[in-house]
């Protein structure tokens, strides 16, 4: 029951049944279909897809678990230079499928609860929640790749490379004294 990697993941599934079948679903979700994520990211993610691999199973305590791995290339806006930056968001997670808050509270700390009502679950919402968790709140280019790097260095003189200039003077501490002596004679 493994889906082709490039097929679209179903939106609505029966996770308990999938866990009993030890099913693995692998496929993609178009990012444009994730409204909350789109709002949080801002800008168009046209044509972009999140690749997801979701394994459903029962653990040793007969808890129903979903282990997921996500990878989504997205365009974010660097908060330093305000230019686009390409980032691949990745996430791996383990969720315990529960049907009540009481069950959720009995889960070990290693499992985040995922509430399944009416025996169905919205897989897209599950993936969307996990993507939102790994979305950087303040995305920045790597310092050397950011077009605003020079502005930044100007604002942070302590981090600017002043070292060579200072060293030059230290190398010859007597030059000033020597000059003084010469003029005196
Ligand atoms: Zn930048």
Q: How do residues 134-159 score in pLDDT, each as one tens digit?
A: 999 999 999 888 988 777 677 766 65
Distance CA 128, CA 63 (A): 23
Name every residue whose Cβ is closer than 8 Å to that of residue 109 and which is 6 or more positions away in sequence: none
pLDDT of residue 182: 46
Q: How do residues 6-37 score in pLDDT, each as one tens digit?
A: 799 999 999 999 999 999 999 999 999 999 99
Name every residue whose Cβ is closer than 8 Å to that of residue 2 and which is 6 or more positions away in sequence: 23, 24, 25, 26
The CA 17 to ligand 1 mean position distance, Å, reads: 46
The CA 78 to ligand 1 mean position distance, Å, reads: 5
pTM over cut 0.95: no
Block residue for tokens 């691949």: 88
pLDDT at 176 over 60: no
pLDDT of residue 67: 97
Number of C-beta neighbours around residue 46 at 10 A: 9
pLDDT at 88 over 50: yes
Reported in sequence order, the residue ranges of the chain that DSSP labels E, i.e. its strands, are 12-13, 24-30, 49-58, 64-77, 84-98, 112-115, 121-122
Distance CA 41, CA 47 (A): 15
The CA 126 to ligand 1 mean position distance, Å, reads: 31
Structural contact between residues 74 and 41, judged by C-beta atoms closer than 8 angstroms:
yes
Q: What are phi and psi of 139, to 5 degrees?
A: -70, 135
The CA 151 to ligand 1 mean position distance, Å, reads: 11
The CA 139 to ligand 1 mean position distance, Å, reads: 9
pLDDT at 68 over 60: yes
Q: Where are the domains of the chain?
A: 12-142, 149-184
| Burial label, 152 (beta-carbon count in 10 A; 0-12, 13-18, 19+) | middle
The CA 65 to ligand 1 mean position distance, Å, reads: 39
The closest alpha carbon to 51, from 73, 67, 27, 74, belongs to 27
The CA 77 to ligand 1 mean position distance, Å, reads: 8
């Amino acid at each position: 029951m493994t889906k082709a990697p490039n097929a679209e993941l179903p939106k609505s599934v029966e996770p308990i049944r999938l866990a009993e079948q030890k099913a693995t679903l692998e496929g993609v979700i178009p990012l444009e279909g994730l409204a909350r994520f789109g709002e949080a990211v801002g800008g168009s993610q046209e044509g972009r897809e999140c690749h997801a691999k979701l394994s459903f199973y029962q653990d040793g305590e007969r808890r129903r678990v979903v282990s997921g791995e996500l990878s989504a290339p997205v365009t974010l806006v660097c908060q330093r230079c305000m230019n686009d930056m390409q980032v691949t968001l990745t996430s791996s997670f383990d969720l315990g499928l529960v049907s009540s808050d009481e069950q959720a509270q009995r889960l070990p700390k290693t499992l985040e609860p995922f509430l399944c009502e009416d025996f169905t679950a919205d897989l897209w919402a599950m993936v969307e929640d996990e993507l939102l968790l790994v979305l950087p709140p303040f995305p920045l280019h790597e310092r050397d790749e950011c077009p605003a790097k020079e502005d930044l260095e100007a604002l942070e003189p302590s981090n600017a490379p002043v070292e060579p200039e200072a060293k030059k003077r230290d190398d010859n501490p007597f030059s000033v004294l020597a000059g003084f002596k010469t003029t005196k004679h």
